[in-house]
Amino acid sequence: MNRIAKLNLLFFVLLFSSVLMSCNKTEQHQRPNILFIMSDDHGYQAISAYDGTLNKTPNIDRLADEGIRFTQSFVTNSICAPSRAVMLTGTYNNINGVINNSIVFDSSQMTYPKLLRQAGYQTALFGKWHLKSPPSGFDYWTVLPGQGDYYNPDFITMGKRERKKGYVTDLITDEFIKWMDKRDKEKPFCVLLHNKAPHRNWMPDMKHISMFEDKNLPIPETYYDDYSTRSAAPRDQKMSIARDMYFDYDLKYANYDKMPDGRYLKGAWRRIHNRMSDYEKKVWDSVYDIRNAEFEKLSPVGNELAEWKYQRYIKDYLRCIASVDDNIGRVLDYLDKNGLTDNTIVVYTSDQGFYLGEHGWFDKRFMYEQSFRTPLIVRYPEKIKPRVDSTDLVMNLDYAPTLLDFADVPVPDNMQGISMKGILENKKNAQVHDAVYYHYFEFPNEHMVKRHYGVRTGRYKLIHFYYDIDAWELYDLKNDPDELNNLYNNEKYKDVIAGLKRKLQELREQYDDTDENKYLPIPPVVVENLASGAKAIYIQPYSKRHPGGGDKALINGVCAPEIIIPPVNYKSWQGFQGNDMEVVIDLRKDTDISEITAGFLQNQSNWIFLPESVDFEVSKDGKKYEAIAFFKNKETSPEAVVRKVEYSKKFESKQARYIKISAKNIGTCPKWHRGDGKKAWMFCDEVIVK
pLDDT at 257 over 60: yes
395 in Cβ contact with 76 (< 8 Å): yes
Q: Where are the alpha helices (DSSP H) in 46-110?
A: 58-65, 80-89, 93-96
Nearest 5°: phi and psi at 630?
-135, 125
Rounded Cα–Cα distance for residues 109 and 80 (Å): 18
71 in Cβ contact with 121 (< 8 Å): no
Strand runs labelled E in 363-509: 376-379, 388-390, 394-395, 436-440, 452-456, 460-465, 471-476
pLDDT at 392 over 60: yes
User: pLDDT band for position 604 (50/70/90)?
Assistant: confident
Contacts of 331-337 with C-beta under 8 Å, sequence gap 24+, read: 331/35, 331/37, 331/173, 331/176, 331/177, 331/193, 332/59, 332/62, 332/63, 334/177, 334/180, 335/35
Q: In this predicted model, what pLDDT tens digit does every residue of 341-362 receive, in sequence order?
A: 999 999 999 999 999 999 999 9
pLDDT at 25 (0 to 100): 42
- Average pLDDT (467-486) is 98
pLDDT at 188 (0 to 100): 98
Q: In this predicted model, what pLDDT tens digit does every residue of 304-338 receive, in sequence order?
A: 999 999 999 999 999 999 999 999 999 999 999 99
Name every residue whose Cβ is closer than 8 Å to that of residue 39 and which is 6 or more positions away in sequence: 194, 195, 197, 198, 321, 324, 349, 350, 351
CA angle, corner 144, sides to 138 and 146, nearest 5? 110
> CA torsion sign, 552 to 553 to 554 to 555?
positive
Rounded Cα–Cα distance for residues 445 and 519 (Å): 14
The H-or-E segment that residue 503 falls in is helix 494-510
Nearest 5°: phi and psi at 315?
-70, -45
User: pLDDT band for position 673 (50/70/90)?
Assistant: confident
- Average pLDDT (428-437) is 95
% of the chain with per-residue pLDDT over 90 = 85
Q: Is 545 helix (H, G, I), strand (E, B) or coil?
A: coil
Count the Cβ atoms, other than its own, within 10 Å of residue 437: 23
137 in Cβ contact with 117 (< 8 Å): yes
Strand order in the sheet with 344-350: 160-163, 154-157, 140-144, 122-128, 189-194, 33-39, 344-350, 376-379, 68-70, 388-390
Distances (CA, A) of 466 to 16, 443, 516, 517, 547: 67, 10, 8, 10, 30
CA dihedral of residues 326, 327, 331, 332 (deg, nearest 10): -20
Residue-averaged pLDDT of the chain: 93
Rounded Cα–Cα distance for residues 96 and 88 (Å): 10
Rounded Cα–Cα distance for residues 205 and 202 (Å): 10
Is the entire prediction scored with pTM above 0.85? yes
For residue 156, which of 143, 169, 165 has the smallest C-alpha distance? 143
For residue 660, which of 637, 610, 634, 626 has the smallest C-alpha distance? 626
Angle between helix 302-337 and 168-182 (nearest 10): 10
Rounded Cα–Cα distance for residues 513 and 531 (Å): 42
pLDDT at 176 over 70: yes
pLDDT at 17 (0 to 100): 47
Rounded Cα–Cα distance for residues 208 and 210 (Å): 5
User: pLDDT band for position 636 (50/70/90)?
Assistant: low
The DSSP bridge pattern shows strands 394-395 and 73-74 to be: parallel
pLDDT at 567 over 90: no
In our burial notation (b when 16+ CB lie closer than 10 A, e otherwise), range 386-399 reads: eebebebbbbbbbb
Q: How are the residues of the chain apportioned to helix, strand and coil, as percentages rounded to the nearest 5?
A: 30, 25, 45
For residue 33, which of 193, 196, 171, 142 has the smallest C-alpha distance? 193
pLDDT at 615 (0 to 100): 96
Rounded Cα–Cα distance for residues 24 and 349 (Å): 33
The DSSP bridge pattern shows strands 471-476 and 460-465 to be: antiparallel
Rounded Cα–Cα distance for residues 351 and 360 (Å): 21
Q: Which of 42-56, 132-146, 564-578 has the lowest mean pLDDT?
A: 564-578
pLDDT at 638 (0 to 100): 65
- Average pLDDT (204-227) is 97
For residue 327, which of 145, 148, 138, 126 has the smallest C-alpha distance? 126
User: pLDDT band for position 637 (50/70/90)?
Assistant: low
Terminal Cα-to-Cα distance of the chain (whole angstroms)? 92
pLDDT at 4 over 90: no
Rounded Cα–Cα distance for residues 44 and 56 (Å): 12
Distances (CA, A) of 28 to 182, 334, 343, 351, 669: 19, 22, 12, 31, 47
